[in-house]
Amino acid sequence: MAIKRFSHVGLCVSDLDRSLAFYRDGLGFAEVARLDVSGEAAETLLGLSDLDLRVVFLERDGVRIELLHYASPGNRGSGEPRPMNALGLTHLSLRVDDLDETVAALERAGGRVLRATRARNETIESSAVFVTDPDGTRIELIEARGAAL
């Protein structure tokens, strides 16, 4: 088996423009491609019927995310942050220069700060907090000296 490379992480979003404001304008991801997806092959791959999907690929620091907006059949879920011990993808994590400044910018871009998660680790001189994107996906922000984390 030969894996060639990492491709992307997909995130289902309820409002594509709102999510673009968060990821592109708030987190600094750059748009690299857009697709409209429908048809039998995509329905088979995704296990969905009556598919009308808008996709935007964004990239930053060599990491690519795929925002998926299902015009049909729509999206599911509450938009509340999933517990950290729920199986599957728990969060994305980003290093930042200034935690307070980044948190404020992400709130302006439609994010929500989970203030109760803010923590300081004196041993490695770091501070971290979780924010969520507009649909509840957790984003960990870490301000730290040196190469830790």
The verdict on residue 4 lying in a domain is no
Q: Phi and psi of 125, rounded to 5°?
A: 50, 60
pLDDT score of 7:
94
Q: Which range marks the domain in which residue 44 is found?
A: 9-72
Domain count, the chain: 2
As averages over each run of 10 residues, the pLDDT of the chain (149 residues) reads: 91 97 96 96 95 97 96 93 92 95 95 96 90 97 78
Say how far apart CA 65 and CA 135 lie, in whole Å. 15
CATH of the domain at 116: 3.10.180.10
